[in-house]
Amino acid sequence: MDIFHNLALGLSTAVSLANLLYCLIGVFVGTLIGVLPGLGPTATIAMLLPITFALQPVSALIMLAGIYYGSQYGGSTTSILVNLPGEAASVVTTLDGYQMARQGRAGVALTASAVGSFFAGTVATFVIAFFAPLLSEVALKFGPSEYFSLMVLGLVASVVLAQGSLLHAIGMVILGLLLGLVGTDVTSGTQRFNFGIPDLADGIGFVVVAMGMFGLTEITRNLEQQEHRTVMAKITTLMPTKEDWKRMIAPILRGTAIGSAVGILPGSGSILGSFAAYSLEKKVSKNSAQFGKGAIEGVAAPESANNAGAQTSFIPMLTLGIPSNPVMALMIGAMIIQGIQPGPSVITEQPVLFWGIIASMWVGNLFLVILNLPLIGIWVRMIMIPYKHLYPAILVFCCIGVFSLKNTEVDIYFMALFGCLGYIFSKLDCEPAPMLLAFILGPMMEEYLRRAMLLSRGNPLVFIQRPISAVLLVLAVLAMMAVLLPSFRKTREELKE
Per the CB < 8 A criterion, the answer to whether 398 and 47 are in contact is yes
What 3-state DSSP class applies to 184? strand
Each residue's pLDDT tens digit, 469-481: 898 899 888 888 8
Number of domains in the chain: 1
Secondary structure E strands in 176-262: 183-184, 191-192
Q: What is the DSSP string of 212-255?
A: IIIIIHHHHHHHHSPP-----------PPPHHHHHHHHHHHHHH
Question: According to the model, what pLDDT value does residue 161 have?
Answer: 66
Question: According to the model, what pLDDT value does residue 20 have?
Answer: 92
HSE value, Cβ hemisphere, 13 Å, CA-based, for 320: 29
Beta bridge partners of 212: none
Q: Where are the alpha helices (DSSP H) in 384-465?
A: 391-406, 410-427, 433-455, 462-465
Domain range for residue 145?
2-496
pLDDT at 494 over 60: no
Beta bridge partners of 191: 184
Per the CB < 8 A criterion, the answer to whether 58 and 19 are in contact is yes
pLDDT band at 22; cut points 50, 70, 90:
very high
Each residue's pLDDT tens digit, 348-367: 788 888 889 888 988 888 88
pLDDT at 21 over 90: yes
